[in-house]
Amino acid sequence: MRSARMAVAFSILGLLLGGVAASSEVVQAILFGWAALSLAMVGVAYAGAASFIFRKNPRSGQLPWHRKLILLPYLGSTSLLWHAARVFSRAPPFGELAPGLIIGRRLRCAEYPPGVRTIVDLTHELEERWPGGESASYLSLPILDGAPLRPDELKRVALQIASVERPVYLHCALGHGRTAMVAGAVLITLRLSSSPDDALTRIAAVRPGARPNREQRNALEACARFTHPGGRE
């Protein structure tokens, strides 16, 4: 499983940095130790404790200050990657996948399309921002970067999104893997697509960089069997 591999990878990186910290001068030891703790905690998150590690507020989309402090080396790197993608990407930040269903990357307040009624946030690692004057509802359905959902979880998430007030803005960090997996499940749940292939083709037409990894695609295919012939509910 990808999540298990990511858990091992982050844990090993944390141990390596911890070893560097142990043999460094005081200031360097503090910095390397901080980074080691941050990465080790992300490893624990991928091992199955993501909600405990990040503790993202489901109503505000914010992270507690103490979690931001401990995880700053990791959160800072993910934020830098997001800013770099925002600045250098030539792709539009979002696109309308179906009437009332808009997908894309995490947005700044000024970037939101007008009239959005529900914001669906698929990230654990990034805080949410939306225009203060907007009356949009916020729905936090966090998934770790690159991680799949179990098919039953993906089906439940798709049903939740299908039932909220539209227009909906659905996003992860960059609007790629997590967004493609969940948006595909929503299209199938709403019977706007007949198969994962059809759903992903529609998603790619709106957002060319949006594609699930292999395990995310497997989750989408298993979820589709709950809905379409060969896997009726």
Segments making up each domain of the chain, as ranges: 1-54, 85-224
CATH topology assigned to domain 85-224: Protein-Tyrosine Phosphatase; Chain A (3.90.190)
**Comparing C-alpha atoms, which of 89, 69, 83, 74 is closest to residue 9?**
74
Give the distance between the most distant pair of CA atoms in the chain.
64
Q: What is the pLDDT of residue 34?
A: 93
Q: What is the pLDDT of residue 2?
A: 74
Q: How far apart are CA 86 and CA 69, in angstroms?
A: 24
Task: Quickly list H helices, 164-195.
Answer: 177-189
Q: What is the pLDDT of residue 134?
A: 60
Q: What is the pLDDT of residue 85?
A: 92
Q: Are strands 94-98 and 101-104 parallel, antiparallel or unpaired?
A: antiparallel
Predicted TM-score (pTM) of this structure: 0.92
| Spans in the chain with pLDDT lower than 50 | 231-233
State both tokens at 131. Answer: 């225009």
Q: What is the DSSP letter of 110?
A: G
